[in-house]
Copies of this chain bind each other. A is one copy, B any other.
Amino acid sequence: MTVISEIDPEFSPQITVVKVGGSAGINYDLVCDDIAALVRKGEKIVLVHGGSDETNRVSTALGHPPQVLTSPQGYTSRFTDTETLDIFCMVYAGKMNTRIVERLQKRGTNAVGLSGVDGRLLQGPRKSSVRSVVNGKQVLVRDDYTGKVETVNDSLLHLLLAAGYTPVISPPAISTEGEAINVDGDRASAMIARALGARQLVILSNVPGLLRTFPDESTLIRQLKFTNLDEALGFAEGRMKKKVLGASEALMGGVEQVIFGDARVAGCVSACMQGQGTVITR
């Protein structure tokens, strides 16, 4: 396996990017236990987290229930008008991020929380309109604050890592025009791993990895070659599709391994770094 030029091992020793989802069943205490243990051993970790489940809950409680857009290709995303984006910021950058940083601080890890708006950490274009399938018909949705991460302010992350801090990152990102935008956390974590020249990107969710026959956990795929990702996309259901897409983007950008693992069990990050779960390589 060749390592492409943008990886500079001098500048970013042993950086691992860990993405932990925001779905039901995920145990943040266990994830933080493990990350704190790894940081104590000298590992450089950048944690990226989600918050979708809690955003749904708070949106509903505030009388602004979530609406899902489905693209013609079958990818789903949250319809994000201004009010939804406010709620999104509250849950992701507010409650989830602060509480995860608090958990890590309690465990002795000097965590610093950042959203993609901070220092233009995660930047990219806002979509002018989103193509969506409603009742079998394609429609164009506007007033949607979503987009895609294209550049990462890696110097801010290196500044913090070099000073001994552990960055904890969540969406939103910032658009080229300076607006907060909803972006997919899995794909954002792939861009972060690329920008940092990370060796490994660990993507944790509430399943043990990529399953050949969802939700049968005995059909866990243990190894996958990059060339088979189109096939993988075929049997990735629902939200696993974007994780597979993120994995391919990370690998194409020079990350050596992407590992899908189970955020419901103790030691999940370490286990993934040692080859548990679904290990995807080029």
Chain B residues with CB under 8 A of A89: 94-95, 98-99
Chain B residues with CB under 8 A of A163: 155-156, 159
Query: How many copies of this kind of chain does the complex include?
Result: 2
Q: Tell me which residues from 66 to 118 in chain A have a Cβ below 8 Å from any Cβ of chain B.
A: 86, 89-95, 97-99, 101-102, 105-106, 110-115, 117-118
Asked whether A152 is an interface residue with its Cβ less than 8 Å from the other chain, the reply is no
Chain B residues with CB under 8 A of A99: 86, 89, 180
Asked whether A62 is an interface residue with its Cβ less than 8 Å from the other chain, the reply is yes
Chain B residues with CB under 8 A of A155: 163
In the bound complex, how far is the Cα of B106 from the Cα of A105, in angstroms? Answer: 32
Chain B residues with CB under 8 A of A97: 93-94
Q: Are B119 and A110 in contact (CB under 8 A)?
A: yes
Given A93-B94, A94-B94, A94-B95, also A179-B102 (CB < 8 A): yes
In the bound complex, how far is the Cα of B117 from the Cα of A90, in angstroms? Answer: 16
Chain B residues with CB under 8 A of A95: 86, 89-90, 94
A166 to chain B, nearest CB (A): 10
A90 to chain B, nearest CB (A): 4
Main DSSP-derived SS at the A contact region: helix
Asked whether A172 is an interface residue with its Cβ less than 8 Å from the other chain, the reply is yes
Asked whether A178 is an interface residue with its Cβ less than 8 Å from the other chain, the reply is yes
Chain B residues with CB under 8 A of A101: 115, 117-118
Chain B residues with CB under 8 A of A260: none
In the bound complex, how far is the Cα of B63 from the Cα of A110, in angstroms? Answer: 34
Asked whether A28 is an interface residue with its Cβ less than 8 Å from the other chain, the reply is no
Q: Which listed residue (B62, B112, B113, B118) contacts A111, Cβ 8 A?
A: B118
Given A89-B94, A90-B95, A174-B102, also A119-B115 (CB < 8 A): no
Chain B residues with CB under 8 A of A90: 58, 90-91, 94-95
Chain B residues with CB under 8 A of A62: 58, 61-62
Q: Are B118 and A112 in contact (CB under 8 A)?
A: yes
CB pairs A–B below 8 angstroms (28 shown): A58-B62, A61-B61, A61-B62, A89-B94, A90-B95, A93-B93, A93-B97, A93-B98, A93-B113, A94-B94, A94-B97, A94-B98, A98-B117, A98-B180, A99-B180, A101-B115, A102-B117, A106-B178, A112-B118, A112-B119, A112-B156, A113-B114, A113-B115, A113-B117, A119-B165, A155-B163, A159-B160, A159-B163
In the complex, the 3 A-B pairs of residues with the closest C-beta atoms, listed nearest first? A94-B94, A106-B178, A90-B90
